[in-house]
């Protein structure tokens, strides 16, 4: 077999040439988006048209246009008018660190296949644990996404709190977790994967402020116990995704202690407020959690996927997937922290710790405070702007950078208002000057914004509200 293609694919000179070109293209892209030289955040295409475009491109597209076309056909999170989903505009240095991971491909399952990233991962997770307020018994690891991290934490919870060995012997009684009914859907999914079934997901209703109603915890717990369900965990959202309101973690912690439940905090989005002296009150009580999830790719400026899962008692991070009894593992804990696949769901994973380490080493922890505080400040400011606008109705006073609102008009029925707001969001999407999303709270349709870009200003937000007003007219 000739190796002509392989030689070409692995040519260092070819990599250098293409790499320089790509970095130039991406730097131009950053300039165009951050400095708003390109008008649109998104050039909206229908899915079928997009499909045909890329099918045709495979056949006869110009290969040198491939990366530029990808830029054109994606959503530009670095544009300050991107105010949509909760992914951060990555700090470019973090993205470069990601390139190292992509090229070196040290899978990190065993220490030998990723010495640096494994050791670095311990340093990073120790750093986050300390910020949470955990002591030196804490430990953590990085894993592929908040979704997987929440599942992993609930598996740890079951192992720690259910006496029967479900991991090896399967279920023999009904198990349950308690969670806010509007928590991220992945908690529900994790519980289903664990075989808890619908009845094992004890959904706690919302207060009028859109967070978990603490006053009914006792009642819901007792109801579950009466049905024969062994409740083993309670999940606090920090904050819940749709509206961005934090659960009362202190109150949940107290409740979890009363019934010896595992207390898990889903801080995928807003756990990062531990880095902001101004906003760390939002996660008051987080240090009492048995486990905490924080996504690097949400409020910490990192590229996807860079999730941290932290444990107050590090031993639990070792026992989740183990076949052996807990006491055997405790003995080997210290010698074995570096074989990461024993502790994670993944076997191979990306070297995600180097993104964290690079940002931290280069800019210091202060950059996380600047990021979170800037965006939460702006969320509060945007909330006030909406409150002061008689045409608009704020879903709830924001507690973070997530702000939900809708156009209102007394002369219109609820269903007409839903239609108008739906139309506003669709028009914005097709225009592409801004990118925002939507959510339904009960039966009411809201426009949903998450201010993720630290270079978004009050002027951008003013302009967004003007656009909405113009669309309504």
Chain contacts with ligand PLP (rule: CB under 6 A): 86, 145-147, 184, 186, 237, 241, 266, 268-269, 295, 307
Distance CA 167, CA 80 (A): 47
Q: CB of 156 within 8 A of CB of 320?
A: yes
What would the two tokens of residue 196 be? 């808890």
Closest to ligand PLP by CB, 106 vs 307, is: 307
The minimum distance between CB 184 and ligand PLP, in angstroms, equals 3
Of the candidates 215, 213, 84, 236, the residue with the CA atom closest to the CA atom of residue 157: 236
Closest to ligand PLP by CB, 20 vs 189, is: 189
The minimum distance between CB 186 and ligand PLP, in angstroms, equals 5
Quick one: residue 413, left, alpha or beta (phi over 0 = left, psi -120 to 50 = alpha)? beta
Place of tokens 């929440």: 150
Closest to ligand PLP by CB, 269 vs 316, is: 269
What would the two tokens of residue 72 be? 């054109």
Closest to ligand PLP by CB, 85 vs 427, is: 85
The minimum distance between CB 302 and ligand PLP, in angstroms, equals 11
Start-to-end C-alpha separation, the chain: 68
Of the candidates 82, 96, 66, the residue with the CA atom closest to the CA atom of residue 32: 82
Cα torsion 183, 188, 190, 196 to 10°: value is 130
What would the two tokens of residue 340 be? 């990461």
The minimum distance between CB 237 and ligand PLP, in angstroms, equals 6
Largest CA distance in the chain: 76
Distance CA 387, CA 395 (A): 10
The minimum distance between CB 86 and ligand PLP, in angstroms, equals 6
Closest to ligand PLP by CB, 86 vs 449, is: 86
The minimum distance between CB 59 and ligand PLP, in angstroms, equals 34
DSSP string, 54-113: HHHHHHH--GGGHHHHHHHTS--TTSTTB--SS-----HHHHHHHHHHHHH----SSGGG
Which residue has the CB atom at the shortest distance from ligand PLP?
Answer: 146
The DSSP code for 245 is P
Beta bridge partners of 77: none
Distance CA 279, CA 273 (A): 6
Closest to ligand PLP by CB, 184 vs 312, is: 184
The minimum distance between CB 375 and ligand PLP, in angstroms, equals 14
Closest to ligand PLP by CB, 282 vs 319, is: 282
Pairing label, strands 392-394, 307-311: unpaired
The minimum distance between CB 183 and ligand PLP, in angstroms, equals 7
Closest to ligand PLP by CB, 269 vs 425, is: 269
Q: Identify the three-state secondary structure at position 405.
A: strand
Closest to ligand PLP by CB, 42 vs 148, is: 148
Distance CA 226, CA 216 (A): 16
Q: Identify the three-state secondary structure at position 445.
A: strand
Burial label, 92 (beta-carbon count in 10 A; 0-12, 13-18, 19+): middle
The minimum distance between CB 239 and ligand PLP, in angstroms, equals 7
Closest to ligand PLP by CB, 300 vs 340, is: 300
């Amino acid at each position: 077999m000739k190796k002509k293609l392989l030689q070409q694919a692995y040519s260092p000179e070819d990599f250098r040439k293409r790499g320089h070109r790509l970095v130039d293209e991406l730097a131009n892209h950053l300039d165009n988006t951050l400095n708003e030289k390109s008008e649109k955040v998104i050039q909206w295409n229908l899915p079928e048209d997009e499909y045909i475009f890329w099918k045709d491109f495979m056949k006869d597209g110009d290969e040198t246009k491939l990366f530029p076309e990808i830029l054109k056909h994606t959503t530009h999170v670095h544009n300050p008018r991107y105010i949509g989903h909760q992914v951060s505009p990555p700090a470019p240095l973090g993205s470069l660190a990601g390139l190292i991971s992509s090229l070196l491909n040290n899978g990190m399952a065993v220490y030998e296949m990723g010495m640096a990233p494994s050791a670095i991962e311990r340093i990073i997770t120790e750093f986050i644990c300390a910020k949470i307020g955990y002591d030196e018994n804490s430990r953590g690891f990085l894993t592929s996404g908040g979704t997987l991290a929440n599942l992993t934490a609930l598996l740890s919870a079951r192992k720690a709190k259910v006496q029967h060995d479900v991991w090896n012997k399967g279920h023999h009684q009904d198990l349950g977790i308690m969670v806010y009914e509007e928590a991220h859907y992945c908690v529900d999914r994790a519980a289903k994967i664990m075989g808890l079934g619908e009845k094992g997901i004890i959904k706690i209703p919302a207060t009028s402020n859109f967070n978990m109603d603490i006053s009914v915890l006792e009642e819901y717990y007792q109801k579950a116990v009466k049905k024969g369900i062994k409740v083993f965990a309670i999940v606090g959202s920090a904050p819940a995704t749709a509206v961005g309101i934090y659960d009362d973690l202190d109150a949940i912690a107290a409740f979890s202690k009363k019934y010896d439940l595992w207390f898990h905090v889903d801080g995928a989005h807003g756990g990062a407020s531990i880095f902001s002296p101004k906003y760390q009150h939002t996660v008051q009580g987080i240090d009492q959690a048995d486990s905490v999830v924080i996504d690097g790719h949400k409020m910490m400026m990192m590229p996807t996927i860079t999730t941290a899962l932290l444990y107050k008692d590090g031993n639990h991070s070792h026992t989740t997937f183990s076949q052996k009894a807990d006491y055997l593992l405790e003995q080997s804990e210290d010698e074995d922290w570096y074989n990461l696949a024993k502790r994670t769901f993944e076997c191979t994973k990306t070297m995600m710790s180097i993104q964290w380490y690079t940002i931290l080493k280069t800019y210091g922890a202060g950059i996380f405070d600047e990021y979170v505080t800037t965006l939460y400040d702006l969320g509060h400011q945007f909330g006030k702007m909406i409150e002061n606008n008689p045409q608009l109705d704020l879903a709830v006073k924001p507690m973070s950078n997530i702000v939900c609102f809708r156009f209102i008009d007394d002369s219109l029925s609820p269903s007409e208002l839903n239609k108008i707001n739906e139309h506003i969001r669709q028009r914005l999407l097709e225009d592409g000057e801004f990118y925002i999303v939507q959510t339904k709270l009960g039966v009411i349709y809201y426009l949903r914004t998450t201010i993720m870009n630290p270079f978004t200003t009050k002027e951008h937000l003013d302009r967004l509200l003007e656009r909405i007003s113009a669309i309504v007219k």
